């Protein structure tokens, strides 16, 4: 198990190196560039040349890359030129990461907490009204674009009904201490429960919008998996032992049905991170999704590099955790 983990972490390094090279090339192949983005179209040739010199963009690509790597291993990913000019890119990422993480975790939690039980009961009563309703709902969830749903939720619940906040992460009037940057967690740690609750309410609508696709996928996989497991001989064995419904459901059906679902959850982190870009725009959340779209608009190489690389690392790490969880559930995989 340890050797497996080490090997997977080694793969992580390879992914990082290959992705950084591709990313470096891709970004610089985009038309425009940070200089035009910073100085605008009417800048003089001299000021342009000066900035190009300053940013080191006049050097050959491989020299630039090598310098980038040398600084990156010390944790220095350069300075933001567009998103928050003058701030180190790593700092931009670290400041914004908690908001996105908070949002994604809540969205994933919603998707799992609703999707798994619904999938189980829909599978148990295949063809029943709950089954049909949930299938329709999950189809709509996948089919409706995230940004449209986000606007719809915002319009109905925030603007028309006024039940939930329309944008931001927390009421500005609340003078909350932000120790970790995770606003809900901050409030809970410092005992500022009103601040935590307020931040949580701000998360609800964006998380609901963001959770629809992961929900739909998790629900469908759970349902199909439960249907398969219910047909298994060992479920019949469990019934023949007269076990209570709870033990049969938890120990015998769900535990086996969860195997494919766990894998799916790992893959859904990708959908969450890409969905966050749109959701953060709609709800004006200063997370990495927003940094990404701003970064592309303003051609902020440093921020884009650190955000995309870090996001990819998170994706790989989450899937490593998923695979380890898989082995924890299924003893047949432990002997590798």
Site residues, another protein (CB under 8 A): 232-234, 236-244, 247, 251-252, 255-256, 259, 329-332
- Residue number, 224 or 238, with CB nearest to another protein: 238
What is the smallest separation between the CB atom of 329 and another protein, expressed in angstroms?
A: 6
Closer by beta carbon to another protein, 18 or else 247? 247
Q: Which is nearer to another protein, 3 or 332 (CB)?
A: 332
Q: What minimum distance in Å lies between the beta carbon of 313 and another protein?
A: 30
Torsion, CA 296, CA 297, CA 301, CA 302, rounded to 10: -90
Whole-angstrom CA distances from 18 to 58, 76, 170 are 23, 19, 38
Closer residue to another protein, CB minimum distance, 105 or 259: 259
**Judged by CB, which is closer to another protein: 211, or 256?**
256
Give me the least distance between CB of 243 and another protein, in Å please: 6
> Among residues 188, 178, 329, 182, which one has the least CA distance to residue 262?
329
Burial of 19 (0-12, 13-18, 19+ CB in 10 A): middle
Q: Which residues contact 113 (CB under 8 A, 6 or more apart)?
A: none
Report the candidate in 185, 187, 168, 167 with the shortest Cα–Cα distance to residue 177.
187
**Which residues fall within 8 angstroms of residue 80, CB to CB, at 6 or more apart?**
86, 87, 88, 89, 92, 300, 302, 303
Contact, 264 vs 217, CB < 8 A?
A: yes
Nearer to another protein, 47 or 126 (CB): 126
Residue 164 C-beta: closest distance to another protein, Å: 41
Measured distance CA(197)–CA(200) in Å, rounded: 5
Q: What minimum distance in Å lies between the beta carbon of 210 and another protein?
A: 31
CB of 3 to another protein, least distance (A): 20
Our CB check for another protein shows the closer of 76 and 330 to be: 330
When the beta carbons of 67 and 239 are compared against another protein, the nearer one is 239
> For residue 79, what are the β-bridge partners?
88
- Residues 128 and 126: their CA atoms lie apart, in Å, by 5
In the complex, minimum distance from the CB of residue 7 to another protein, in angstroms, rounded to a whole number: 23
Least distance from another protein to the Cβ atom of residue 118, Å? 21
- For residue 46, what are the CA distances in angstroms to 30, 51, 80, 258? 23, 9, 22, 62
């Amino acid at each position: 198990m340890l050797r497996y983990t080490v090997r997977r972490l080694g793969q992580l390094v390879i992914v990082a190196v290959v992705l950084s090279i591709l990313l470096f090339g891709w970004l610089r192949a985009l038309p425009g560039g940070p200089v035009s983005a910073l100085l605008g179209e009417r800048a003089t040739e001299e000021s342009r040349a000066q900035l190009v010199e300053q940013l080191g963009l006049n050097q050959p690509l491989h020299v630039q890359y090598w310098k980038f790597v040398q600084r990156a291993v010390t944790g220095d990913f350069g300075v933001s030129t567009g998103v928050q000019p003058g701030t180190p890119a790593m700092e931009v990422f670290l400041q914004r990461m908690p908001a996105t993480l908070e949002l994604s975790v809540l969205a994933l939690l919603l998707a799992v907490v609703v999707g798994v039980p619904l999938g189980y009961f829909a599978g148990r009563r295949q063809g029943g009204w709950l089954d049909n309703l949930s299938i329709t709902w999950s189809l709509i969830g996948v089919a409706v674009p995230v940004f449209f749903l986000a606007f719809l939720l915002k319009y109905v619940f925030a603007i028309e009904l006024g039940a939930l906040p329309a944008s931001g992460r927390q009421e500005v009037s609340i003078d909350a201490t932000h120790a970790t940057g995770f606003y809900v967690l901050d409030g809970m740690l410092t005992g500022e429960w009103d601040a935590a609750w307020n931040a949580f309410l701000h998360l609800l609508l964006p998380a609901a919008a963001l959770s629809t696709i992961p929900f739909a996928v998790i629900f469908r996989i759970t349902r199909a998996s439960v249907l398969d497991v219910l047909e298994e001989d060992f479920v019949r064995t469990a019934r023949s032992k007269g076990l209570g419904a709870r033990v049969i459901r938890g120990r015998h059906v769900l535990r086996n049905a969860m195997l494919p679902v766990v894998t799916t959850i790992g893959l859904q982190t990708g959908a969450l991170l890409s969905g966050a870009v749109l959701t953060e725009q709609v709800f004006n959340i200063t997370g990495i999704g927003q940094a990404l779209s701003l970064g592309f608009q303003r051609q902020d190489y440093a921020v884009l590099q650190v955000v995309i690389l870090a996001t990819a690392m998170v994706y790989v790490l989450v899937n490593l955790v998923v695979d380890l969880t898989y082995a924890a559930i299924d003893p047949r995989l432990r002997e590798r």
